[in-house]
């Protein structure tokens, strides 16, 4: 395995993040590359979900991954170990990615050869929701051990995302997590959010999520 490249990204110089985000999306559209922005708390299973998604979709699409963290390259190394192009972005202490920072990362990827790039945003249920990265789709994970009250406390994240993946359902039997309540709470904030129940560890529910994502990517490329 080649060593993973670590890119030290800089604070964005752009005052209008929305404008930059639209620029990113225009460029992606031209290159027919789907950009997926994955957000969650630390430790909810983002990297494991990416690995499962790669496993399901790698025969259909050429996939690349940008891992964002304040420090370490452990996540990008896990992705690179399965033969997928991955870079590690270090955010210089920043708690989120914005469009300018995403652009800096995308410049290091060979976009003309990729159908999809997955961003693993910094593990944080607050700040990443405030900044449009330029992604085509925003998705989030809530893991069962985090508890079913999270939509009440972090409503912006739930309102920003197109998809909620409820992960670690293999923990359900040891937990008092109320799946019905969490769905009701998420849908109250965001009636158009699509919800999947998964275990990135056991693979349960991954097929349905991957099939749904496959269609979304095809629709976007065809549009």
How many chain residues are in contact with its own copies, going by CB under 8 A?
33
Closest CA to 53 of 126, 160, 141: 141
Closest CA to 64 of 76, 48, 72, 52: 76
One character per residue 134-173, x = contact with its own copies (rule: CB under 8 A): ---------x-xxx-xx-xxxxx-----------x-xx--
Nearer to its own copies, 152 or 195 (CB): 152
Our finding on whether 41 is near its own copies (CB under 8 A) is yes
Which of 6, 51, 82, 126 lies at the binding interface for its own copies (CB under 8 A)?
126
Our finding on whether 203 is near its own copies (CB under 8 A) is no
Question: Which of the stretches 16-24, 41-49, 98-106, 191-199 binds its own copies when contact is defined by CB under 8 A?
Answer: 41-49
Which of 122, 141, 163, 182 lies at the binding interface for its own copies (CB under 8 A)?
122
Q: Which positions ≥6 away from 223 have C-beta within 8 Å?
A: none
Rg (C-alpha) for the chain, rounded Å, is 16
Our finding on whether 130 is near its own copies (CB under 8 A) is yes
Distance CA 53, CA 8 (A): 26
Q: Exposed, middle or buried by CB within 10 Å (0-12, 13-18, 19+), for 68? A: buried
Question: Virtual CA dihedral for 172, 118, 18, 94, nearest 10 degrees?
Answer: 80
Nearer to its own copies, 18 or 71 (CB): 71
Which of 19, 26, 42, 92 lies at the binding interface for its own copies (CB under 8 A)?
42
Least Å distance, CB 190 to its own copies, is 14
Using DSSP bridges, classify how beta strands 116-120 and 194-197 pair: parallel, antiparallel or unpaired: unpaired
Nearer to its own copies, 34 or 154 (CB): 154
Nearer to its own copies, 80 or 125 (CB): 125
Q: Exposed, middle or buried by CB within 10 Å (0-12, 13-18, 19+), for 23? A: middle
């Amino acid at each position: 395995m080649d060593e993973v490249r670590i890119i030290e990204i800089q604070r964005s110089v752009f005052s209008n993040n929305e404008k930059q985000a639209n620029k990113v999306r225009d460029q992606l559209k031209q290159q027919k590359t789907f950009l997926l922005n994955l957000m969650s708390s630390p430790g909810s299973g983002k990297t494991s979900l990416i690995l499962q998604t790669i496993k399901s979709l790698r025969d259909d699409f050429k996939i690349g991954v940008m891992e964002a963290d304040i420090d370490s390259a452990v996540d990008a190394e896990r992705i690179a170990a399965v033969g997928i192009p991955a870079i590690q972005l270090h955010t210089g202490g920043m708690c989120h990615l914005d469009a300018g920072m995403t652009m800096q990362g995308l410049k290091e990827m060979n976009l003309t050869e990729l159908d999809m790039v997955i961003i693993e945003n910094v593990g944080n249920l607050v700040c990443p929701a405030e900044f449009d990265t330029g992604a085509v789709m925003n998705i989030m994970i809530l893991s069962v051990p985090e508890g079913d009250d999270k939509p009440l406390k972090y409503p912006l994240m739930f309102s920003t995302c197109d998809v909620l993946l409820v992960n670690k359902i293999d923990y359900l039997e040891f937990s008092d997590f109320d799946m019905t309540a969490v769905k009701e709470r998420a849908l109250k904030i965001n009636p158009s959010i699509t919800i999947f129940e998964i275990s990135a560890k056991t693979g349960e529910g991954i097929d349905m999520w991957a099939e749904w994502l496959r269609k979304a990517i095809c629709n976007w490329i065809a549009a």
